[in-house]
């Protein structure tokens, strides 16, 4: 067997040396050396080449006590890496010698296990999960789009989810509104959604607003949220949400669906275009058909709502490139996506003057000012 070089924790490692944690996920949740990538021993063959392609990079592996890290170093050598070592005594010795390490912070043991797949993600980690648990997301509409949004952000651990909807569950909803079930028919959609969310993740606080959102109650309901999700099916509420967003400076994750097509975007107040930059005024009623009138493929809101949930999580985490300034278009029949780039309109009636956000306006169902 090839002799494995042993490196004591207190040795001065070169700046370019890469420390790699080869413990299992549950062990890492008890604490780890900050900044170290995590690849369990069983994943080395698949994940190590993706992490580091330079075979001459110095790699120092660590586990709990220094046994598995020897196996990892030997395996990496067999893969062609020329400079490998094992940390003598592992993480236990590192910690006992008083060297710096980090823990999942305020997460309970149960939360650390529940969100383990988040915590091991680059760019998320324990701090990102704590941010999700402290975040507040409002979902306007508990229907086709709101269903997958609510389920996925709740599963992800968003701490507070607000549900705004004045409707009741109807049997015709069940073809696409997957948060509701047959035994919820006749129940308010907000209560039905809360039951499913609470069963899925008791960490989540659910705030219910079984009322129609309008200019009179919008500030009361939506103030204090970090993100608003537009899961509505009508133009009056979309315009209202846009104007609330500009007043409260809360990003809106928008989606709309019709028959076999959908679109998604993110409107971040004054950082990109707003909804009125694209559509200054609501369309006339004869071209503003709802899902009830035009129909919709049942799975379509699941596709678009899941993308909305993804964008909401990205906004909360400050992760990746959101759809600000872009509209993602989806054609289910062609199974094709495309993208439109959109710019902020310097003459926009709503967002051109940052110091004077628009007054809230209620439109009637025909998209006329009420």
The series of mean pLDDT values per 10 residues for the chain, 370 residues long, is: 84 83 82 88 90 93 95 95 95 91 76 88 87 95 98 97 97 95 96 97 95 96 96 94 97 96 98 95 68 80 98 97 98 98 95 94 69
CB 344 within 8 A of CB 324: no
List the structure tokens of 344: 């902020």
Bridge-based pairing state of the strands 5-7 and 84-87:
parallel
How far is residue 320 CA from its own chain's centroid? Answer: 10
Cα(346)–Cα(324) distance, integer angstroms: 16
Q: Give the pLDDT of residue 151.
A: 98
Structure tokens at 283: 């369309």
Indicate the burial class of 351 (C-beta count within 10 angstroms; 0-12, 13-18, 19 or more).
buried
Please report, for residues 177, 303, 332, the alpha-carbon distance to residue 335 in angstroms, rounded to integers and kept in the order given: 22, 11, 5
Q: In whole angstroms, how large is the CA radius of gyration of the chain?
A: 25
Q: Which pLDDT score, from 0 to 100, does residue 287 have? A: 64
pLDDT on residue 127? 85
pLDDT at 31: 84
Please name the residue ranges forming H helices in 269-342.
Answer: 275-278, 291-294, 300-317
Dihedral of CA 134/139/145/151: which sign?
A: positive
Give the model's pLDDT for residue 15. Answer: 77
pTM of the model: 0.75
Domains (range + CATH), the chain: 5-103 (3.40.250.10), 135-341 (3.40.50.720)
35, with CB counted inside 10 A (0-12, 13-18, 19+), is: exposed
What gap in Å lies between CA 116 and CA 123, rounded to an integer? Answer: 14
d(C-alpha 220, C-alpha 223), whole Å: 6
Rounded Cα–Cα distance for residues 156 and 124 (Å): 12
Instruction: Please tell me the predicted confidence (pLDDT) of residue 368.
Output: 62
What's the pLDDT score for residue 113? 87
Give the per-residue pLDDT at 106.
72
Q: Which residues contact 278 (CB under 8 A, 6 or more apart)?
A: 327, 342
């Amino acid at each position: 067997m090839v002799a494995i070089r042993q490196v004591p924790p207190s040795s001065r490692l070169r700046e370019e040396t890469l420390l790699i944690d080869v413990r299992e996920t549950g062990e890492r949740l008890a604490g780890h050396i900050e900044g170290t990538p995590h690849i369990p021993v069983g994943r080395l063959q698949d994940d190590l080449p993706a992490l580091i392609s330079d075979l001459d990079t110095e790699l120092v592996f660590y586990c709990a006590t220094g046994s598995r890290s020897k196996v990892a170093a030997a395996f990496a050598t067999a893969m062609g890496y020329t400079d490998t070592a094992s940390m003598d005594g592992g993480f236990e010795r590192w910690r006992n010698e008083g060297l710096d390490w980090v823990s999942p912070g305020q997460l309970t043991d149960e939360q650390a296990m529940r969100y383990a797949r988040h915590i091991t993600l680059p760019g998320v980690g324990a701090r990102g999960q704590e941010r999700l648990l402290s975040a507040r997301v409002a979902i306007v509409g508990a229907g086709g789009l709101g269903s997958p949004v609510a389920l996925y952000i709740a599963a992800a651990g968003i701490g507070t989810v607000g549900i705004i909807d004045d409707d009741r569950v109807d049997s015709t909803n069940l073809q696409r509104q997957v948060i509701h079930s047959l035994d919820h028919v006749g129940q308010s959609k907000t209560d039905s959604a809360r039951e499913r969310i609470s069963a899925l993740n008791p960490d989540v606080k659910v705030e219910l607003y079984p009322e129609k959102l309008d200019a009179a109650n919008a500030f009361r309901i939506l103030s204090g949220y970090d993100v608003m999700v537009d899961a509505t099916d009508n133009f009056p509420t979309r315009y209202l949400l846009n104007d609330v967003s500009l007043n409260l400076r809360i990003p809106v994750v928008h989606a709309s669906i019709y028959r076999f097509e959908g679109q998604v975007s993110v409107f971040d107040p004054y950082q990109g275009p707003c909804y009125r930059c694209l559509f200054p005024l609501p369309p006339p009623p004869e071209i503003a058909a709802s899902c009830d009138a035009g129909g919709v493929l049942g799975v379509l809101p699941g596709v678009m709502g899941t993308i909305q949930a993804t964008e909401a999580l990205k906004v909360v985490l400050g992760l990746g490139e959101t759809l600000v300034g872009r509209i993602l278009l989806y054609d289910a029949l062609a199974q094709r996506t495309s993208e439109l780039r959109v710019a902020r309109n310097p003459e926009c009636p709503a967002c051109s003057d940052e110091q004077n956000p628009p007054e809230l306006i209620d439109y009637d169902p025909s998209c006329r000012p009420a």
